[in-house]
Each structure stands twice: as structure tokens, then as C-alpha cells.
Amino acid sequence: MAQIEPNKSGFIGVFDSGIGGLSVLQALRAEMPQERFVYWADRGFAPYGERSDEFVIERSHFVTQQLLAQGSLKALVVACNTATAVAIESLRATFPNLAFIGVEPALKPALAQTQTLRVGVMGTQGTLSSLRFDKLLRSVLADAKPKTCEFVLQACKGLALAIEQQTEKSLEDTQALEDLCAQHVQCMGSFGLEPGQIDTLVLGCTHYVFVQDILRKLVGPDVNIISTGEAVAKQTKRLTTPTSSHTETTKVSNQIQLWTTGSLEALQLAASRWLDLPAHHCQLFQTPSAK
């Protein structure tokens, strides 16, 4: 990995098992247009959501070390629900001087918005079966009392990987992806505003933002669909922006580097499609094959 040129204000790292975290990077760019970002797509080892906890922790530590080696890392956004759920506490313990910002399913905002008191949560098996998610769910339900709410959890096996693979297809060739989304949505039950229906859908994986249009058609126009990118961007800004209101206005214009351990072409296509970035922003990191 080529050495990143030093920047007096440092850079913000962002990583995910693939392209899903680009949805968070979109929000980060909008919230902090002056910042410099380095994004790591660990696609050669994706999807994290179907890997063991030990594997996800190992990869998360490896990626963090690679980014730290490149210069002044101001903060690291773990733009992956599974990596946040499984590895972020270990990362914070191992790298105590680095600010980590994780992502988690937006259960609290969903509880605040639902009227039918039935909320759907789509996520990977790794996220929904994690101790961190269980703790979050219990906390939200406890804080809601005496209000009661049912969270309908759907582990969407294969969906994150299908979204990764879709990047290499044409925008019109989406039938297989639509069928997979429909399968998972149908397993959750009825959506709508009537009593007993799910009126709020939480996207518990950063990849799923990229199929939000498909999901919207499936659940209908009245259902709230909630993701986490904007909240993560605001939290990152809070942790990395100097308290002084008189900050330097240097025009950095979102200097961005994107790295992948998988297909370089796939990352280039994703960067062009979702971030409007030309191919030269993307580079390949050579790494040993997955275990």
C-alpha cells in the first residue's frame, strides 16, 4: 500500500467488508466537505455477516493497523454493522488513543416513529445474533416501557453479497436482486399503517441502502425506511471537529482514496456509480487469501 501523503489535519478512515460502507461515506462527504477520507473495502474477505466472530475481529484489527500505518489517522468509522457489533469493543481496547465510530441498527429512531408498534429490522446474521445487538434491543425495549413494541428481525442471508455482485452488472439487470429482497421482505409479514402491520423498516446493514428503491416498492410508500449514515456522519464530525468555532477553511474538497482487497474493477464501478468518483481514486491492496 503506497504511503499516503501527510496532511496536517490528518484523515478519517472508513472501512467495511465491501461497498456497503460507501453509503456512510456519502453521508460523511456531505457533512464534512473539507475532510480527507481513506476508504477500505475488505471485499476479498466479504461478507463479514456470514463469517465467524473471530474472523471479523482479526480482519478489523488488520485493517485498522494498515490505516494507522499510513499517517495521521484522526478517527476510524467502522461502516459495517457486523464489524461494529462484533469487533468495535476489541478495537477500542487495543487502540485506546484512536476514536472509533460504529454503526448500529437505528432501533431508537424507529421506536420514536412507529405508530403501529411493529418495526422490521433487516440485517446480517452476524449483526442480529451478536451480543451487542441483543444488548441494544433489550435497552430500547426497557427504555420504552410502558410502551411496547415488537421488533421483527430478518437475517437477510446472501443479500449483502448480492448487492456487491450487482455492482458489476448493468443498472437494468436487477431481477435476481429484486427477487431476493422480496423473499426477505415477505418473511417479515405485512407492511402498512393498519394495526398489526409493520410501519417502519430499519436497514441494519450499510449495503441495504443501495437497494432502498427496491425495498420501497416492496413495502409501499407509507412505510418509514431508516438507515444510519447521517447520524454516523454527525457523530464523526462532533468527534473530529475542533471545539473552536474559528476553524481553518482550507479547500480539501473531499480528497478520497479507496482501497480494496477484492476486485479493483468492482470498486471502481461502485465509486463511479455511488460517489461519482473517477477510477484513479481506487487502488488494489494485495493480501493473502482468506482462511
Eight-class DSSP state of 198: B
Nearest to 164 by CA among 240, 267, 32: 267
Collapsing DSSP to helix, strand or coil, 52 comes out as coil
156 part of the active site = no
Cell 477520507 maps to which residue? Answer: 37
- Active-site position among 156, 181, 205, 282: 205
Q: C-alpha grid cell for residue 267?
A: 470498486
- Active-site position among 80, 156, 181, 282: 80
Other residues' Cβ atoms within 10 Å of the Cβ of residue 83: 28
Collapsing DSSP to helix, strand or coil, 247 comes out as coil
Q: How many residues does the chain have?
A: 291
**Amino acid residing at 264:** L
List Cα–Cα distances, 273 to 32, 121, 192, 277, in angstroms.
21, 26, 31, 8
Other residues' Cβ atoms within 10 Å of the Cβ of residue 233: 21
Distance, in Å, from the CA atom of 8 to the CA atom of 233, rounded to the nearest integer, reads 21
Nearest to 64 by CA among 36, 92, 104, 105: 92
Nearest to 72 by CA among 118, 3, 16, 136: 3
Name the phi and psi angles at 172, rounded to 5.
Answer: -85, -20
205 part of the active site = yes
Name the phi and psi angles at 220, rounded to 5.
Answer: 100, 165
Cell 437477510 maps to which residue? Answer: 156
Catalytic residues: 80, 205
